[in-house]
Structure 1
Amino acid sequence: MSKHFVLDFDGTLINTDVYWEWIVTQFLGIGQNEQMIREAGERLFPVGYTVAQHAKGLGLHEALVQELAQRAREHVSEHHASLIFSDVPSFFSRFVDAEKSILTFGDREHQIERIRASGIHSSISKIRTASTELPKAKQLKDLAQESSLPVVFIDDDLDQLMGAYQARLPIELIRMRRDGQRKSKDDHKLDNEAWRVIRSFDELE
């Protein structure tokens, strides 16, 4: 039976850790303190990250904010396709008949720009963006009610998986725990109980 795979973007489909370290180097290059850079950026992750907001949070003047934002847009356009994990194209090919959509968290315009630059949007039926006001669990609940296919939600973020689990949604949950990724470091007591754990899309059949 076919399925509807609802896929997180950052850390699941694309190596965001590499992109994040590039961002850090841009701020280091203009003399910012590394600890302050990381703390200012991480404060934005729960509400919707953009390079411009990051720069503003560091108190940079507007001209420099816009310069850094433009530099990031150019970098995304040139390099995001190379950051897609190597198992993603074969996953799309193997499950060509399944529906595949993205449910990502963050600033909608920023996330859509990055997804399109990555080159995978042509394999995706729809892009949804979550926020603190419209969390992933709420959107997954609506999806489960609307979809005629069994829904499989794949995310590397334990908070998002926990939200879906606590909502008791009638969907399959999978934690993407890629080797070497920041969100893959820690075990969770509900691994392989509340959700299945995989390290690659190659493990899916």
Structure 2
Amino acid sequence: MTVQRTLVLLAALTLPPLVGAQAPSSVAAWTPPGPTACAFSGWTTNQKPEILVRAEASATSDVLGSLPTTLGDGPDPDIDYYSVTFDVTEARDGWLKIKNASDDMTGGDVSQPRPVYRGEGWIEAADAQVGIQSARGYARPDIATERLLDLGHDWLTERATLQGIVACEGDWLLLDYEMRNNEKFERLAPKDRARGRAWFRGLCASAETTCDMRSVDE
């Protein structure tokens, strides 16, 4: 190998990374050490036939009732089925305390075909969904902290699925998410679906449409 070629190879090894390449952030999202009070509404996922509501935030706690989901065919083919909605009042150790569950949108004027537990109880955090009309996730519930995710003009729940609602702080939610679509809204291969945790604002409680609200990113 010539001296000139050796120098070229050494220079290539010391070049800076390509423009546009981003190093992963060394900052992890702050996670509150205990339970947090919440005041938002969400709806059921459709990953299982029903969602169990338990007496305590534990998988071994007594089952109080259940919430139906939209997974599979409903009992009446003439009825449009919607996700059950509910209010969330607390987040704790991967669980959410809920109340006021409602299936009132299903069936319209037709009598409600599905039994719904409407009292207080706990569901797994991964069984709840919300819309996030924001592109930016932060290290803490404060826009002055490091931005851990920025999707430009795309909202989080347009390009990612929620894996769990971890905690609440005022208008902020700490969310675990998994990217599903790239910037062209093409489906990502499973190996390319990055996961993350960050604090987000811009909550929308409607499963059927977007919410008419001012952008929190402006």
Q: Do the two structures share a fold, i.e. TM-score over 0.5? A: no
More helix by share: 1
Q: Give the TM-score, by structure 2 length.
A: 0.25
Q: Which has the larger radius of gyration?
A: 2
Q: Which has the higher contact order (CA 8 A, sep 6+)?
A: 1
**Greater fraction strand:** 2
